[in-house]
């Protein structure tokens, strides 16, 4: 890993992350905050530094590998989920384990950003794989239920107009034109301005009315990542 990330780990002193921005520990380590806007500001042992970087690198390389295998979406998600749960889990059996996993996710992202900033080719590779990981995690949040997605959007400062249950039921025939009844019942829908949803509209994946697109929560990833 030392050769892979272009760092010499011969010294025996801890690595200190520092940031000019101060934020609460909750904002810095939440597993539903995948934007990584603020670097961590704590010490890491060299063992953790190397271990964290390697864990994330394994996940990103797996993403690259799965992309070229031509798997369908379910096969891709199942294979990636196994690796993510092993290398970058977002939960833990105890609060200390959960905090450790949050620290691993945050620190590993910034370690690889440092390591892969040396050339345009490396930066492009990292951005491509990180975006794929980001999309996978957002889709996984939506599958867990509306509360997890709502918590993510609140943490990230994203605000979309969520329609009421009554509106959803009154528009059922329009909203579930390309969804199973089960998926429809499990989904929350958001009212998004036309200009922000052109990709989904162009692919005829959402209902449009009065200049607004009605987007199921599972497809918000396309808008958030745009």
pLDDT digits (tens, 9 = 90+) for 131-142: 999 989 888 877
* Residue 14, pLDDT score: 54
* Residue 194, pLDDT score: 93
* Residue 9, pLDDT score: 42
What's the rounded mean pLDDT across residues 72-91? 92
CA angle 156, 148, 18 (to 5 degrees): 40
Band (pLDDT 50/70/90 cuts) for residue 145 is: low
Could you tell me which residue, 150 or 26, shows the higher pLDDT?
150
Computed over every residue of the chain, the mean pLDDT equals 82
What's the rounded mean pLDDT across residues 39-53? 90
Structure-derived torsion over alpha carbons of residues 24, 28, 33, 34, reported in degrees to the nearest 10: 160
d(CA 112, CA 218): 28
d(CA 224, CA 226): 6
d(CA 159, CA 12): 46
Band (pLDDT 50/70/90 cuts) for residue 37 is: confident
d(CA 199, CA 223): 8
Main-chain phi, psi angles of 205, to 5 degrees: -105, -5
Cβ atoms 56, 111 nearer than 8 A = yes
Residues 6 or more apart whose CB falls under 8 angstroms from that of 2 comprise 8, 9, 50
* Residue 41, pLDDT score: 86
Band (pLDDT 50/70/90 cuts) for residue 19 is: very low
- pLDDT tens sequence across 107-122: 999 999 999 998 999 9
């Amino acid at each position: 890993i030392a050769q892979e990330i272009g760092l010499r780990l011969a010294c025996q002193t801890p690595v200190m992350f520092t940031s000019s921005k101060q934020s609460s520990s909750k904002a810095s380590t939440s597993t539903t905050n995948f934007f990584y806007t603020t670097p961590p500001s704590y010490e890491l042992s060299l063992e953790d530094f190397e271990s964290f970087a390697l864990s994330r690198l394994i996940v990103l390389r797996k993403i690259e590998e799965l992309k070229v295998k031509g798997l369908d979406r379910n096969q891709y998600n199942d294979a990636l989920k196994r690796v993510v749960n092993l290398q970058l889990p977002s939960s833990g059996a105890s609060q200390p384990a959960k905090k450790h996993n949050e620290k691993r996710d945050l620190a590993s992202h910034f370690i690889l950003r440092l390591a892969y900033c040396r050339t345009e080719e490396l930066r492009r590779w990292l951005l491509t794989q990180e975006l794929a990981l980001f999309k996978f995690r957002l889709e996984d949040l939506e599958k867990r239920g509306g509360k997890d997605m709502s918590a993510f959007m609140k943490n990230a400062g994203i605000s979309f107009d969520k329609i009421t249950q009554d509106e959803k039921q009154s528009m059922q025939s329009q909203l579930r034109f390309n969804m199973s009844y089960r998926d429809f019942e499990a989904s929350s829908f958001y009212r998004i301005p036309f200009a922000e949803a052109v990709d989904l509209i162009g692919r005829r994946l959402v209902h449009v009315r009065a200049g607004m697109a009605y987007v199921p929560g599972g497809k918000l990833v396309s808008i958030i990542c745009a």
